[in-house]
Chains A and B, each alone.
Chain A
Amino acid sequence: MSESKQQVSRRDFIKKMATGSAAVATTTVSSVALPAEKNKRYAMVIDTRRCVGCQACSVACKTENDVPLGETRNWVEYIEKGEFPNVRRSFLPRLCNHCEDPQCVSVCPTGATYKRKEDGIVVVDSDVCIGCKYCIQACPYGMRFINPKTGTADKCDFCLHRVEKGLVPSCVNTCQGRARIFGDLNDPQSEVSQLVATNATTVLRPEMGTGPMVFYIDADHTDERDAEKQGIYVRIDTHRRQQKRV
């Protein structure tokens, strides 16, 4: 067996493993079996080069999801650094990372927070959540808050109600620079898969081991501590109630 063929078949195998049950069916009776519904793995790519910091996504998110005043599911941080003429200002849109290994899920005592098997979206079931705030402590990204109306944990849910109907999330829909691209990482043809494959991407706080599913292109990870180290001026505006990054 040639090298390349071996690789192909191994990849095939892994793919079939991933789709689960259909591994045998497809090889033997592939002509009759319906293709098994493949699980999705939704992800977002944020191309910060295309972001102008207009906060349209923050506004769209707030209206779409009726996010209470003072709380934020989505925000855009401004990062300014340097001294004229050597300056840069960049933008860092923030939302829940829908982590592969979400800490919020592992601490939730009621099972209200869980990662959906069918598409990888991390959701909160507000009928189950007791509002213990454990997940708020555990999320390394400060994404969660208590919704004052329900008293339960709340955060970005990739606009599940839209995505289920085949629409893109509201923030993606509104982004005028097309900085946000949403799609299925399990589909190699999707735009997110192609972007992740062809760009240098980063995620936030990778050392937390959460495996974020929001990938950034050309994100500036500078913070105040870097400023000290590099001896440059840095200013970060979070544009949310919490004026410092959580």
Chain B
Amino acid sequence: MHELTWGLPVILYLFLGGLGAGAGAVSASVLLRSGGGDQAGLGFKIARCGALIAPIPVILGTGLIVLELGTFQAGNWFRFINLFKVINLSPMSIGSWVLGLFIMVSLVYAYTFLKADPHPGDDRHQLRKLSAWAMVILGVGVALYTGILLGAMPARPFWNSPILAMLFLVSALSTGVAVILLGRSVFGKHVDKEGKTTSDAYLLASSDMLLIGFEILVIFLFIMYSHLTIGSVKVAMGVILGGELTTLFWFGFVFLGLLLPILIELKYVIPTLLFQKQYEIPRSMEVLVSVLVLIGGFLLRYVVVIAGQITGSIGI
């Protein structure tokens, strides 16, 4: 058994960073899709919710990662500043800069919505649109980098796959959608007396479904290619194909985090999708689906980070 160099803080950071980046990117792209940000209405409301959520998990995760630094633990609290004295081709270096930029831009973006009655055309509108463009790019950047960070090392065969970053990106976007869905479901005023959500969550639910579908595909490719190769990668993949993390991966992540939510969503989305019925979903179901997706997102990071560290190259 290998030692865990990166523990829970890193796992939480990868999850929260992806979550916030996903929420930010989704919010900004929904905003920009509503007539380039100029239309009031549903898109604007969704964007507002995502914009207000996005910075929180990212800042929280970044705070956690600082706790994991050896120098911080040794009492040298501000040594991490050194990250911002240089930039080189290390994924962590580029990632830290992108992350730093993301945090700043996401705060600006959130600020543009933080007023009594934000609406297209108000005094912060230009700033909002401008930061939204940056949010899409930076959000995707942060989400991708969390995967590239792990994928860059031949010494860690479980992680050393180009598709890992893709997997993390899709998972980040889907957890981002889920957290917006959850936020709207819990705090939203669009719920009628019987506790049913009216049609405006359809856009989110159906995109969430699509993203989970993609995630299942990417997971399939990730496992298939690793399994079809030989040597260290195949041995490493063994930890989720019969090894110690099998149950957590298949039951926790794949079943609870992907299959169950996509099936529940299908049940409610299909009538609207195929028969143009009014979209209706009980609030409890909406909460359940979002929470499941979030749990799945966390378990994915958990399993991947642990699996990568308890496996290594074979032979000497």
The answer to whether B74 touches A150 (Cβ under 8 A) is: yes
- In this complex, the interface size class of chain A, counting residues with CB under 8 Å from chain B, is 35 or more
Query: What chain A residues lie within 8 Å of B68 (beta carbons)?
Result: 133
> A146 touching B70 by the CB < 8 A rule?
yes
Say whether A93 faces chain B, with CB atoms less than 8 Å apart.
Answer: no
Cross-chain contact B86 with A242 (CB below 8 angstroms): no
**B72–A131 CB distance below 8 A:** yes
- Count of inter-chain pairs, beta carbons less than 8 A: 121
What separation, in Å, do the CA atoms of A142 and B90 have in the docked complex?
Answer: 19
**A152 contacts the other chain (CB 8 A):** yes
- Of the listed residues B69, B153, B155, B313, the one surrounded by the most CB atoms of chain A closer than 10 A to its CB is B155
Contact A110 B85 (CB under 8 A): yes
Complex Cα gap A244–B1 (Å)? 7
Known contacts A107-B91, A108-B90, A110-B93, A130 near B69 by CB under 8 Å: yes
| A246 engages B2 (CB within 8 Å) | yes
Contact A140 B154 (CB under 8 A): yes
Q: At the interface, yes or no: B250 with Cβ under 8 Å from chain A?
A: no
Interface size, chain B (Cβ < 8 Å): 40
Q: Interface SS of chain B: helix, strand, loop or mixed? A: loop
Cβ contacts under 8 Å, A175 to chain B: none
Q: Is A134 an interface residue (CB 8 A)?
A: yes
By the criterion CB–CB under 8 Å, are A225 and B5 in contact?
Answer: no
User: B276 on the interface (CB 8 Å rule)?
Assistant: no
Inter-chain CA distance A205–B154, complex, in Å, is: 11
CB-contact partner of B88 in A111, A130, A225, under 8 A: A111
Nearest residue (CB) in A for B156 is A137
Residues of B within 8 A of A (CB): 1-3, 5-6, 68-76, 79-80, 82-83, 85-86, 88-93, 96, 149, 152-156, 308-309, 312-316
A129-B70, A134-B149, A148-B74 are known; give 12 further A-B pairs, CB within 8 A. A92-B316, A106-B89, A106-B90, A109-B92, A130-B69, A130-B83, A131-B79, A133-B5, A137-B6, A150-B70, A204-B316, A242-B3
Sampled A-B contacts (19; CB under 8 Å):
A103-B154, A109-B96, A130-B70, A130-B83, A131-B70, A133-B5, A136-B5, A137-B5, A137-B308, A137-B309, A139-B155, A140-B313, A151-B71, A204-B316, A205-B315, A221-B316, A223-B315, A225-B314, A226-B315
